[in-house]
Amino acid sequence: MNIVIPIKQVPETSNVKMDEETGTMKRDGVESIINPLDLYAIETGIQIKEEYGGTITVITMGPPSADKSLKEAIAMGCDDGILLSGREFAGSDTWATSYALSEAIRAIGEFDLILAGERATDGDTGQVGPGIASWLDLTLSTYTSKVVDIKDKSVIVERMVEDGYEKLQLPLPALLTVVKEISFPRLPTLRGKQRSRKVEIPQWNLSNLKMKEDFLGLNGSPTRVVNIDHPKVTRGGTVIDVRNDASIEKAVSQLIDYLKSKELV
Q: Which stretch of 19-28, 108-117, 171-180, 204-213 has the lowest confidence by average pLDDT?
A: 19-28
Q: Which helix (H) or strand (E) holds 237?
A: none
Strands 9-11 and 32-34, by their bridges, are antiparallel
Q: Render 5-31 in DSSP notation, one character per residue.
A: EE--EEE-GGG-EE-TTT--EE-TT--
pLDDT of 13 > 70? The answer is no
Q: Please give the helix or strand (H or E) that residue 132 lies within, else none.
A: helix 128-136
- The pLDDT of residue 31 is 76
**Percent helix / strand / coil, the chain, rounded to 5:** 35, 25, 40
The pLDDT > 90 percentage for the chain reads 63
Average pLDDT over the chain, rounded to whole?
89
User: Could you give the CA distance from residue 111 to residue 160 in angstroms, rounded to a whole number?
Assistant: 25
CATH superfamily of this structure's domain 2-215: HUPs (3.40.50.620)
pLDDT of residue 241: 81
Four-residue CA torsion sign, 202, 208, 210, 216? positive
Work out the pLDDT band at 219, boundaries 50, 70, 90. confident
Q: Check pLDDT > 70 for residue 18.
A: no
pLDDT at position 146 is 96
90-128 residue pLDDT tens: 989 999 999 999 999 999 999 999 999 999 888 789 999
More confident residue, 170 or 220: 170
> Is the pLDDT assigned to residue 149 strictly greater than 90?
yes
pLDDT digits (tens, 9 = 90+) for 222-264: 987 777 777 776 777 777 788 888 788 888 888 888 889 888 8
Helices first, then strands: H and E counts in the chain: 6, 13
Per-residue model confidence (pLDDT) at position 264 = 86
Cα angle, residue 224 at apex, residues 230 and 214 outer, rounded to 5° = 150
26-68 pLDDT tens trace: 555 567 889 999 999 999 999 999 999 999 999 999 999 899 9
Residue 243 CA, distance from chain mean position: 53
Answer positive or negative: Cα dihedral of 38, 40, 43, 47: negative
